[in-house]
């Protein structure tokens, strides 16, 4: 989980330009080593914005996830992997 600043936004978006939010990294260009010794690398960097409630639970801000996400997210963030088009 990382803290991000929103650089650009549409007029009808929930988050506005200049806001600070939390996000979860779902794709990264830097290769990620898996427990079996293999590596996975994506073509771009991508995050999903999340909100935190009073109990400390996280929930995605959006309703859809475009593109593949890493399989490692399944352990802690099953909601994100269920919304994704493809889990690699």
Count other C-beta atoms under 10 Å from residue 9's C-beta.
Answer: 13
Both structure tokens of 63: 């309703």
CATH number, residue 10: 2.40.150.20
Residue-wise pLDDT for 39-88, tens only, equals 999 999 999 999 988 888 889 998 999 999 999 999 999 999 999 999 99
Would residue 36 be called left, alpha or beta, if left means φ above 0 and alpha means ψ between -120 and 50 degrees? Answer: alpha
Find the helix or strand (DSSP H, E) in which 24 lies.
strand 20-27
Number of domains comprising the chain: 1
Q: What is the pLDDT of residue 46?
A: 94
Q: What is the pLDDT of residue 50?
A: 94
Q: pTM for the whole thing?
A: 0.85
Nearest to 65 by CA among 45, 81, 88, 43: 81
Give the integer Cα–Cα distance in Å for 82 and 42.
19
Range of the domain at 16: 2-87
């Amino acid at each position: 989980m990382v803290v991000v600043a929103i650089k650009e936004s549409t007029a009808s978006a929930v988050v506005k330009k200049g806001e600070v939010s939390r996000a979860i990294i779902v794709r990264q260009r830097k290769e990620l080593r898996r427990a079996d010794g293999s590596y996975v690398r994506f073509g771009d960097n991508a995050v999903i914005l999340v909100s935190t409630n009073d109990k400390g639970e996280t929930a995605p801000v959006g309703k859809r996830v475009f593109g593949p996400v890493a399989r490692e997210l399944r352990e802690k963030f099953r909601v994100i992997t269920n919304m994704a088009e493809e889990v690699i």
